Structures are given as C-alpha cells and as structure tokens.
C-alpha cells in the first residue's frame, strides 16, 4: 500500500514539475488597447476581450494584465514597432500586439502587428476586413489563431471560423478563369504510322488559376481526338511566367491499320508532361507558348512532341 502511495505521489510531483517548466517556457504577450476610428467603444472592448480569451484557449501564452499594460503606456499612444519594443521591455514580455480598427463605409478594416521584443522587430503583420460588427467575433478568433501560430491570416482558415468576406466567393478566394485556343504541330517520336510526318494540331482549353496553380480541361484535335485534364505550376506573377506541369486523359488516335486489323487498338490513356511560357500574364489576355511530350498507352505505343502557340483570355 505504501509503495502504491509513493508511486502516486511521485507521479503528482512530476506532473507539477512539468506544469511549472511549461509555464516558465511559455511566451508572454502584452495586448495593447485596440485603437479605433469610427467604432463605438463597447464593440472595441468586446473584440479585445474575445481575442484574449481565444488566445488563452489556443495556447499557453501568458497575457499581461490590462491594467499593467495601460500603466506602462502612461497615457500615450503606441502604434509603431519601436514604441512597442520599449513597452515590451518595460513589461518584460516576449511579444507585443498592436491592433487598429478603422471604419470604411459599412466595413471595418482590422490591421495588426505582432512585435517580437527580443529581436526588436515585427514577427507578423497582417490585415483583414470585417463586413459587419457582428462578424468581429469570428474575425477575432481567426486573428487569435494567426497570432498563436504566427501564420498569415489566409493560412488559418478552419471549419467554424470562416469570415463573411471569405464566404463572398465573387470577391475572395475566387479563381481567375481563362480560356483560349492554341495551334501548332505534332512531331511523332514513336508509332503514329510514320515517325517522319508532322501533323497539324489545334486545341481548346479552359482553366482556373489560384495563386500559382492552374488546372483545367483541354480538348485537342491531333491525329484523332484527345481530351485531358491538366495542371500547371506557374513560377512567376510577372508578365513573363514560365510554367511546368502535366496532363492525364484519353486519346483516340486515328490509325489506318486499325481499320484493317481489328486486334490493334489506337485509343488509350494519354499522359503528358509539359512546359512553356505565359506572356502578358498581368493583362486580360495571355500569349501561350507550350511544348508537350505525350505518351498514349495503346497498342501502337504512340509518343510525340507537340509544339503549340496560342491565346488565353
């Protein structure tokens, strides 16, 4: 019995030690009073309270009491990094958060700056928009996640904390749609009845761009008919944008022998690797220069290089 009690006591002591070590290693943060323009004080205080509560739920951060923070400010406003560093040193805290809320029409613009006192510079700077006063609750929860994880706001979306402006698909998180036509030549490398004959090709494509990724559907006429789903990585946001990617689909290759020999199949799954350049990407049209290496998994083992040039809009 005594041995059992000793083990239980030892476990309790170890847990207490672990808690103390955790508390010692936890970051401390001073949340400066929110600064606002055109917003009633009760809404500001409520938003600040929600933010602090959410930060405490999400992490072991120790938040400096509000009265100590106000005393350190000594009646002055602090909206710049250097000022926040001085306040942080006075309060002996690791982090200081500056938050500004400004009304613009019916919207509220929220800007926040998380300063690392130890290195004397910002660890995270971001902003967002609340479409209504009521939406501030969700916005504060998202900002709390952003601060605790030290990630930009757009990387912290979670089910249950989607802001109103993120649900407005035409304005936010909407993909840019492009469509266009390209033409050029297919150069057989294997199969296609004669590896020496090039063939005219034309394709139509429709795609969506999200940041540096483009995905879409391609329909092509080349030695028959092809239909592919493609994806490309766009290496630049400038007017000259190299890209690389691939496609997977189906190709019905028109082989004359297939009409004579019923045992040979000309159709099959098509796999493509490609690269190219999109010119004038920042305009409402783009010039597309593309080269594909296409493999059709059929009885003829058709392989080809395909060079095309076209327009996207």
What 8-state DSSP symbol labels residue 135? T
Annotated domain spans of the chain:
27-167, 176-312
Q: What is the pLDDT of residue 193?
A: 72
Does domain 27-167 match CATH 3.40.50.10070? yes
Split at pLDDT 50, 70, 90, the class of 105 is: confident
| Helix or strand (DSSP H, E) at 138 | helix 136-149
What pLDDT is stored for residue 218 in this prediction? Answer: 95
pLDDT at 185 over 60: yes
Q: How confident is the model at residue 50 (pLDDT cuts 50, 70, 90)?
A: very high
| Range list of β-strands (E), 117-223 | 121-130, 176-190, 199-210, 213-221
CB atoms within 10 A of CB 45: 13
Q: Considering the domain 176-312, what is its CATH architecture?
A: Beta Barrel (2.40)
Contact 273, 211 (CB under 8 A): no
Q: How confident is the model at residue 40 (pLDDT cuts 50, 70, 90)?
A: confident
Closest listed residue to residue 187, CA positions, set 278, 44, 302? 302
The answer on pLDDT for 172 being more than 70 is no
């Amino acid at each position: 019995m005594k041995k059992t009690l000793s083990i239980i006591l030892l476990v309790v002591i170890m847990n207490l030690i672990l808690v103390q070590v955790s508390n010692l290693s936890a970051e401390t943060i001073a949340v400066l009073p929110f600064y606002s323009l055109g917003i009633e004080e009760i809404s500001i205080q409520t938003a600040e309270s929600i933010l602090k509560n959410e930060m405490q739920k999400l992490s072991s951060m120790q938040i400096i009491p509000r009265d100590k923070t106000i005393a350190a400010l000594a009646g002055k406003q602090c909206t710049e990094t250097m000022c926040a560093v001085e306040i942080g040193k006075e309060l002996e805290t690791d982090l200081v958060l500056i938050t500004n809320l400004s009304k613009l029409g019916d919207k509220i613009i929220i800007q926040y700056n998380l300063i690392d006192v130890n290195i004397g510079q910002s660890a995270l700077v971001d902003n967002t928009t609340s479409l209504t006063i009521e939406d501030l609750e969700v916005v504060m929860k998202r900002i709390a996640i952003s601060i605790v994880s030290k990630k930009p706001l757009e990387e912290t979306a979670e089910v249950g904390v989607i802001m109103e402006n993120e649900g407005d698909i035409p304005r936010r998180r909407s993909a840019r749609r492009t469509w266009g036509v390209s033409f050029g030549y297919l150069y057989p490398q294997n199969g296609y009845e004669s590896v020496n004959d090039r063939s005219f090709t034309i394709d139509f494509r429709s795609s969506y761009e999200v940041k540096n990724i483009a995905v879409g559907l391609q329909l092509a006429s080349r030695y028959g008919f092809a239909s592919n789903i493609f994806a490309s990585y766009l290496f630049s946001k400038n007017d000259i944008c190299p890209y690389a990617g691939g496609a997977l689909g189906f190709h019905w290759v028109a082989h004359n022998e297939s009409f004579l020999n019923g045992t040979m199949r000309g159709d099959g799954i098509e796999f493509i690797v490609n690269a190219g350049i999109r010119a004038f990407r920042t305009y409402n049209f783009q010039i597309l220069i593309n080269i594909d290496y296409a493999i059709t998994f059929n009885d003829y083992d058709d392989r080809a290089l395909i060079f095309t040039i076209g327009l996207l809009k």
